[in-house]
Amino acid sequence: MKRDPYANNLQVRPDGTLRHFLSIEGLDQALLTRVLDTAESFDAASQKNVRKLPLLRGKTVLNLFFEPSTRTRTTFDLAARRLSADVVNLDINASSAVKGESLLDTLRTLEAMRSDLFVIRHPQAGAAEFFARHVPEGVAVLNAGDGRHAHPTQAMLDLFTIRRHRPDLENLVVVIVGDVAHSRVARSQIQVLNLFGVRQVRVVGPATLIPSGVEQMGVHLYSSLDDAMVDADVVIGLRLQKERMRGPLLTSSEEYYQRYGITAKRLTLARPECLVMHPGPMNRGIEIDSEVADGPQSTVLEQVRNGLAVRMAIMALTMGAGPGLATESGQ
Amino acid sequence: MKRDPYANNLQVRPDGTLRHFLSIEGLDQALLTRVLDTAESFDAASQKNVRKLPLLRGKTVLNLFFEPSTRTRTTFDLAARRLSADVVNLDINASSAVKGESLLDTLRTLEAMRSDLFVIRHPQAGAAEFFARHVPEGVAVLNAGDGRHAHPTQAMLDLFTIRRHRPDLENLVVVIVGDVAHSRVARSQIQVLNLFGVRQVRVVGPATLIPSGVEQMGVHLYSSLDDAMVDADVVIGLRLQKERMRGPLLTSSEEYYQRYGITAKRLTLARPECLVMHPGPMNRGIEIDSEVADGPQSTVLEQVRNGLAVRMAIMALTMGAGPGLATESGQ
Amino acid sequence: MKRDPYANNLQVRPDGTLRHFLSIEGLDQALLTRVLDTAESFDAASQKNVRKLPLLRGKTVLNLFFEPSTRTRTTFDLAARRLSADVVNLDINASSAVKGESLLDTLRTLEAMRSDLFVIRHPQAGAAEFFARHVPEGVAVLNAGDGRHAHPTQAMLDLFTIRRHRPDLENLVVVIVGDVAHSRVARSQIQVLNLFGVRQVRVVGPATLIPSGVEQMGVHLYSSLDDAMVDADVVIGLRLQKERMRGPLLTSSEEYYQRYGITAKRLTLARPECLVMHPGPMNRGIEIDSEVADGPQSTVLEQVRNGLAVRMAIMALTMGAGPGLATESGQ
């Protein structure tokens, strides 16, 4: 899995602890398991109505969103506050981008203000890594989505959600449906599911929305969703990123729904308790039927909830503040 | 007054405490008096330079503004902070609305992040109630203005302001001037003033801006402001919601001012200490003369100040955290 | 230096302490030295990883930005949080400006919400002073840039940066290069450098970007940057405010760079350790060469870092909360 050896150095400290969180690639199962376990402990605290933990008291988190987002930004914001950090949100559009400052100068300027943790979403692949290469020791960078490259916190919260229901990851067949070509979520999901040794990851979608050579990512390509659903334990619908598509990749929403929509009928082809997942926001009636989205097998809202705990865990660990960290040995 | 019996169930818990705050309709005088009294205690604390109260420590308030607003959003923001809550502001335009998520999915997503209190302003009537119907027990929804329907926190701060100056509410003649048809503020004011038994509520404005059948709301309709001012104890100027009007409802600002502007001369027709109120922002020289707006009878800034205490009270009570609540009996 | 005697009254309390911070004009060296010394103590605390000071606990800071800004707003935001204040950020464009409220009404409304400190950036000269004239005793106003008039916190952080490297201010030759005519930064810098008695302030830039009569501000005007650099101890590049210029004031960026760009070659004309400063954001290759901007003599990022400490100091002092204030005598 380590085609990207430098990433390992960038994301992990010599003592094996997490320094940045940029992509699944370059991280190993032991470290990511620690993320999941830390998230479990935060979620347990939250269930007991412990709403604020003092782990990041006095730390400053900068949320840098170069793309708009309600959901993801709010989750990072809330996660940081529950760790008692100060949070500054920056939507970089109407501000320094207006004045034409380079990304590196923006970064250096913000860094000079002595922030401890940057959360960055950016339309260009590699933006978070670029930041990580330029911040000093002690400052962490979290990738909240960079172009089509990666969205690793989403993949981790998906894995967290699956593991809760099905700790026997090695037995699972997971189906990913939809616009894989434009999805940073799918890329990160495929990586993490393979790293954790799920039995099979299947990918299905319109030929124009499946990247060529996708099998080299360690997935099985299907052309029919009905076929892919057979024996599935988990089905993940991807958001149809309309705004990312150029030209006539799709004929119509209706046709998409006919062929790739996750419907109640299709769900009967899968294993009885097959989980239905979606990173949101959902296009109901296109990627997924409302009956399924709101049904008992859907984990859509649970994913959002888990996103908080997982992001808290990643923030705490990169800041060297995870609970129980002292008693755990390095990677 | 309870034409809307379901609203009672939605806003009030079985033990008579406040669950949501969506509209005056459905609430009774005892409960709203508790809001006013709680606000008094918060204002007294503020006067003594007690700036932060720990009542909502660890709670998260989400300010969801689907319409822009400096004034109202900032007041809710400050009110929540003075109760030691964490506040996340979401202007939902450039974010999830871009991606076309439904209101219900946005709500469920935000709810899944374990917020405790939603403050919502939305251009559609009923949006806050819609939210309230879908949040779980323990989560409160406050209406910060929904379409033309209601703006109940504004009505409460107006009532609070009047009561401070004139606790003998049953003796008062209150005049509401202007664009009643498009005003959620006016609707909520009329309801709360009648509920508290003021002697008379008078309404006056251009015929095109007065809803037909307004008398059924329990008001006296006047066609001349000069007539309406006679014996008035309170006169409330409404904001001319230019952006809400369609077509030729008004001839000109000048004509409006001539006929419906609150001027020093008109004020002489009222009782000597007649209060002059306006929810803001004021269009000076249209709805109100600057001399009056800044004069000794104006409560415009006092209303803003009181808005903080009233919103703190509503937040605290819906969260079950009001001071002295333990010693008060239920509704 | 006190051509503006009223400003003295407005900015300084009768006991000689700082009330507002609107412009360098009207303040004296003793008071500004106290700002610098306070900033030193905050910076020292920050170096020792004391990230939060309780000096403004319970106070509310309103950041009112009528012009977009990442850098300055974020610095004020962080400075206030490190003093434990609550911070509310208001970008006034999409909000009350939409509704056409006057600046004074906006101010009064925000003031009625019981804020303690306003930070204001506004495209009109005099806006901050206008605010200061209308807030009650106990509320402070900080100018974060008003039109072409002043940007005094920027000038103070520049002075702070220079003093750290060269406490012998009276020996220094400081060169200011560029668009002096449109620069509020330059105006404030010239004032503070003269107030602190630097040996010589030189100004150089295209004739169209130098205000006529600039020598009356106490500077030496040069037409050639090469000439101005001789014996310089500090060179400050101003940002080319493209958005502020109207008409054909400049022929081209290339020509500007040829004549007024701060390059490594030009730097050799100055004193050996000449500091290179820029308020940011930099237009690399126009005002400054990247080799110089990122070189050992550049203080660009140090200026940003110092901006935090200096703004913390100004906030604390105007709130009567500076460390060691009790033991210092008045002005």
Distance from the C176 Cα atom to the nearest Cα atom in chain B, whole angstroms: 39
Contact B105 A282 (CB under 8 A): yes
Fold: same for A5-150+307-327 and A152-304? yes
Give which of C71, C73, C161, C288 to mutate to test A binding, by max A Cβ within 10 Å.
Answer: C71
Residue in B49, B66, B71, B240 to test binding to C, most C beta-carbons within 10 Å: B71
Q: The tokens of A73 are what?
A: 């930004």
Q: How far is CA C41 from the centre of its chain?
A: 19
pLDDT per residue as tens digits for the range B194-250: 999 999 999 999 998 999 999 999 999 999 999 999 999 999 999 987 654 445 556
Residues in chain C: 331
Tell which wins on pLDDT, C45 or A70. Answer: C45
C302/A96 CB distance under 8 A: no
Contact A281 B95 (CB under 8 A): no
* Among A51, A71, A77, beta carbon nearest to B109: A71
pLDDT above 80: residue B188: yes
Encode pLDDT of B248-287 as tens digits. 556 688 889 999 999 999 999 999 999 999 999 899 999 9
Q: Give the integer Cα–Cα distance in Å for B243 and B241.
A: 5
Residues 32-61 of B with CB under 8 A from C: 46, 51-52
- Asked whether the beta carbons of B73 and B65 are under 8 A apart, the reply is yes
pLDDT at A92: 78
Q: Which of A100, A101, A109 minimises the CB distance to C304?
A: A109
Helices vs strands, H then E, count in chain B? 13, 9
Note whether A92 contacts C: Cβ–Cβ < 8 A: yes
Catalytic residue among B19, B34, B59, B121: B121
Q: Are strands A173-177 and A200-204 parallel, antiparallel or unpaired?
A: parallel
User: Which residue type does C283 have?
Assistant: N
Query: Cβ contacts of residue A285 below 8 Å, gap of 6+?
Result: A253, A257, A261
* pLDDT of C50 higher than 90: no
Closest Cα to residue C287, out of C297, C301, C276?
A: C276
Q: How far is A270 from chain B (nearest CA, A)?
A: 26
Question: What confidence score (pLDDT) does residue B7 get?
Answer: 47
What is the predicted pLDDT for the residue at B329? 33
Work out the number of other CB atoms within 10 angstroms of the CB of residue B24: 27
Give C108 to chain B, closest Cα distance, Å. 7
The chain-wide mean pLDDT, for chain B, equals 89
**pLDDT the model gives residue C104:** 83
Distance CA A17, CA A11 (A): 9
Show me where the domains of chain B are located.
5-150+305-327, 152-300
| Tokens, residue A286 | 């296109």
Higher per-residue pLDDT: C65 or C98: C65
Cβ–Cβ of B110/A74 closer than 8 Å?
Answer: yes
Percent of chain B with pLDDT over 70: 89
Among C46, C243, C304, the residue with its CB nearest the CB of A112 is C304
Contact state of B108 with A301 under an 8 Å Cβ cutoff: yes
Distance CA C212, CA A94 (A): 33
pLDDT of residue C251: 65
Which of C59, C91, C105, C108 should one mutate to test binding to chain B, selecting the residue with the greatest count of B CBs within 10 A? C105
Q: What pLDDT sits at residue A69?
A: 81
Q: Quote the mean pLDDT of chain C.
A: 89
**CA of B80, closest CA in chain A: separation in Å?**
15
B121 tagged catalytic: yes
**Please, which pLDDT band fits residue B94 given cuts at 50, 70 and 90?**
very low
Q: Tell me what pLDDT residue B240 has.
A: 87
Within an 8 Å CB–CB cutoff, is residue B304 touching chain C?
yes
Quote the pTM value.
Answer: 0.89
Contacts of A105 in chain C (CB under 8 A): 280-282, 284
Q: Which CATH superfamily is domain C152-303 in?
A: Aspartate/ornithine carbamoyltransferase (3.40.50.1370)
Tokens representing B102 are 């439904």
Q: What is the mean pLDDT of residues B76-93?
A: 91
Average pLDDT on B6-35 reads 90
CB contact under 8 A, A302 and B109: no
Q: Please state, as a whole number, how many other Cβ atoms lie within 10 Å of the Cβ of residue C30.
A: 12
Residues 307-326 of C with CB under 8 A from A: 307-308
- B152-300 folds as Rossmann fold (3.40.50)
CA B16/CA B8 separation, integer angstroms: 10
Partners of B60 in the beta sheet? B86
What would the DSSP string read from start to end of C154-167? Answer: HHHHHHHHHHHH-S
pLDDT tens digits, C101-134: 678 888 888 889 989 999 999 999 999 999 999 9
* A246 CB burial (10 A radius; 0-12, 13-18, 19+): exposed
Alpha-carbon distance B300 to C227, whole Å? 60
CB spacing of A90 vs C74 below 8 angstroms: yes
Mean pLDDT of C264-292: 95
The CATH homologous superfamily to which domain C5-150+305-327 belongs is: Aspartate/ornithine carbamoyltransferase (3.40.50.1370)
In the predicted model, what is the mean pLDDT of residues B300-307?
Answer: 96
* A81 and chain B in contact, CB less than 8 A: yes
- Taking only the tens place, the pLDDT of each residue in A91-138 is 876 344 445 567 888 888 888 998 999 999 999 999 999 999 999 999
Which residue in B81, B282, B284 is closest to C86 by CB distance? B81
Measured in whole angstroms, how far is the alpha carbon of residue C7 from the centre of its chain?
A: 17
Residue of B70, B84, B88, B292 to mutate for C, most C C-beta atoms under 10 A? B70
Which residues of chain C does A95 touch, with a Cβ-Cβ cutoff of 8 Å? 68-70, 73
Stretch 98-127 of chain A: residues touching chain B, C-beta under 8 Å:
none
How far apart, in whole angstroms, are the C-alpha atoms of residue C145 and residue B264? 39
User: What is the pLDDT, as a whole number, of residue B296?
Assistant: 97
- pLDDT value for A243: 58
| pLDDT value at residue C210 | 93
Contacts of A240 in chain B (CB under 8 A): none
Q: Which of B2, B71, B108, B242 is catalytic?
A: B71
Size of interface B-C (CB pairs under 8 A): 68
Question: If you average pLDDT over every residue of chain A, what do you get?
Answer: 89
Quick count: other Cβ atoms within 10 Å of Cβ B211?
15
pLDDT of residue A321: 86
Segment holding A201, helix H or strand E: strand A200-204
Size of interface A-B (CB pairs under 8 A): 68
pLDDT at C46: 87
Task: Note the Cα C111 to chain centre separation in Å.
Answer: 25
Chains in touch with A (3+ beta-carbon pairs under 8 Å) read: B, C
Q: What is the pLDDT of residues C283-326, one digit of tens each?
A: 999 999 999 999 999 999 999 999 999 999 999 999 998 665 43
Q: What is the mean pLDDT of residues A214-225?
A: 96
Question: Which residues of chain C neighbour B281 with C-beta distances below 8 Å?
Answer: 96, 99-101, 105-106, 109
Give the number of residues written for chain A. 331
Closest residue to A46, CB basis, from B95, B110, B114: B114
Name residue, tokens 């888990």: A306
pLDDT at B96 over 60: no
Chain C interface includes B78 (CB < 8 A) = yes
* Chain A residues lying within 8 Å of C74, measured CB to CB: 62, 88, 90, 110, 113
CATH assignment, A152-304: 3.40.50.1370
Q: What is the maximum span of chain C, computed from C-alpha positions, in angstroms?
A: 56
Closest chain A residue to the Cα of B96, Cα to Cα: A70
Q: Is C284 an 8 Å CB contact of chain A? A: yes
The pLDDT value given to residue B51: 82
Closest-CA residue to C20 (of C139, C160, C192):
C139
Contact yes or no for A105 and C280 at CB 8 A: yes
Yes or no, beta carbons of B68 and C110 under 8 Å apart: no
The residues of C carrying an active-site annotation are 71-72, 99, 121, 151
Residues from chain A that touch C302, judged by Cβ atoms under 8 A, are: 112
Q: Does B101 score more than 80 pLDDT?
A: no
Interval B18-26 mean pLDDT? 96
For residue B96, give the nearest of A51, A71, A304 by CB distance. A71
Superfamily name with CATH number, domain A5-150+307-327: Aspartate/ornithine carbamoyltransferase (3.40.50.1370)
Average pLDDT of span A299-324: 92
Q: What is the Cα–Cα distance from C99 to A31, expressed in whole angstroms?
A: 53
By CB atoms closer than 10 A (0-12, 13-18, 19+), residue A329 is exposed
Residue A328 has pLDDT above 70, yes or no: no
Residue that has been written with the tokens 């335009």 in this structure: B93
Which among A93, A102, A103, A114 is the top mutation candidate for probing chain C, defined by the most C β-carbons within 10 Å of its own β-carbon?
A114
Flag whether residue B95 sits within 8 Å of chain A, measured between CB atoms.
yes
- HEC assignment per residue over A7-73: HHHHHECCCCCECCECCCCCCCHHHHHHHHHHHHHHHHHHHCCCCCCHHHCCCEEEEEECCCCCHHH
Distance from CA of C288 to the nearest CA of B (A): 35
Predicted confidence (pLDDT) per residue in C163-209, tens digit: 999 999 999 999 999 999 999 999 999 999 999 999 999 999 999 89
Would you say residue B117 has pLDDT above 70? Answer: yes
Please report which confidence band the pLDDT of residue C8 belongs to, taking 50, 70 and 90 as the band edges: low
Assigned token pair, B132: 């309230």
Please indicate whether, in this complex, the C-beta atoms of C114 and B308 are within 8 angstroms of each other: yes
Please tell me the predicted confidence (pLDDT) of residue B155. 98
Short-list B4, B311, B10, CA closest to B131: B10
Q: What is the band of B141 on the pLDDT scale with cuts at 50, 70, 90?
A: very high
